Structure 1
Amino acid sequence: MTRLTFAEELEGAADRIADISRADVQIMLRRAALMLRNVTGIALDPKVEESLAGLAAEMEVSKSELSRQ
């Protein structure tokens, strides 16, 4: 299941919250937490990725450290 599909499923559940069982809501919330916990970052254009890698090397920091600054 993609993030977009799951987001649509959550939105649909919010629209019909009175009709959804507590167990189904728990499953959806646990799945949402798992997806958020496992997010690794954003997909960048290869040219942007290359530029960031070069800048990080020049500054002698990792790309993840660079993005936090």
Structure 2
Amino acid sequence: MYMVIVCYTCGRFLLAKVGQKTRRCPYCEARVVLEKARRVAYAKSAQEASNIIRTLKKSKTFPQQPSSHNQ
């Protein structure tokens, strides 16, 4: 099982296996503590999680950058 999370440094979506403690963001290199990260979806496979991320990126529902970057 996988989860889609939001990096709390750069605001981008990433996937992680359920049960992992941390994940390094491939975009900003921040170490994300998964229990503190915002979880936006769960998926049965990495492929399904990737498809969810693609859909979310096209959507205007979630900001891609933290609000401090939009000033």
Q: Which has the higher helix share?
A: 1
- Do both share a fold (TM > 0.5)? no
Q: What is the TM-score normalised by the length of structure 2? A: 0.26
Q: Which has the higher strand share?
A: 2
Higher relative contact order (CA 8 A, sep 6+): 2
Q: Which has the larger radius of gyration?
A: 1
Q: What is the TM-score normalised by the length of structure 1? A: 0.26
